[in-house]
Structures are given as C-alpha cells and as structure tokens.
Amino acid sequence: MASHECQIKVRVLSVCSIVDHRGPILVAGGRPKFAVALILEDRASIYEDKDSGVSFAFDSVVVFAIDSVVKLFMEKEIIGNQYVLRVRQEVINEQKRFFLDRA
C-alpha cells in the first residue's frame, strides 16, 4: 500500500448529483453521490504525487466524487466558501483511491 497526503486550500465552485456530472472526476468516497468542483487558491498548497502522475496546481479546478456534502464540509451551503482540506491518495491492490477530510 502506497500513500501520499497533503493539505490544500480550496474554494467550492459547484456541487451536483453525481449522475448529473459530465467529465473527469476523482473518486473520493466509498459510495459517492455528489460531484464537487474545487479551485485551488493557495500557491503553497499544491498536491503532487510523482509516482502516480496526479497533481493539482494553483488555480486549477479539480472535481471529486464524494459521499456526503455535509459530512465533508460540516455545513450544507458550501458554494463560494473556502476550506482547507486534507487530501490523501492511497494505492490499494493496485487501485488509486482518494480520501478527503477537513483539515
């Protein structure tokens, strides 16, 4: 099992049902129901995992599939709000899995 973790400062751009989302998405939950689009807002909080080739640079938009908006962000109205999230990627049985939680 390989692991990579860091904190990122983000602003929430949008949230929708996972069935309504079109485009690339990173799964960060066991039973994702929502797609949340985040923009990285801090030059110092860059996520980069050279082993897997996954990186999120300053000012980039990343979309995650999550289980629950309220569980992750601790509030229901999140659009436009800024958060510091801990993002962790683990490779378990040769599958990449992301995990998000509030820092």
pLDDT of 72 higher than 80: yes
pLDDT of 1 higher than 50: no
Residue predicted with more confidence, 20 or 94: 20
Q: Tokens for 45, please give them.
A: 């909080």
Q: Which domain holds residue 88?
A: 2-102
**Interstrand relation of 61-66 and 34-40 (parallel, antiparallel or unpaired):** antiparallel
Domain count, the chain: 1
pLDDT of 91 higher than 90: no
CB of 30 closer than 8 Å to CB of 99:
no
The type of residue at 27 is V
Q: What are the φ and ψ backbone dihedral angles of 70, each rounded to 5 degrees?
A: -65, -40
| SS3 label, residue 60 | coil
pLDDT at 44: 67
- As a whole number of angstroms, the distance between CA 55 and CA 48 comes to 4
Q: What is the pLDDT of residues 15-54, one digit of tens each?
A: 999 999 999 998 898 899 999 999 999 766 666 766 666 6
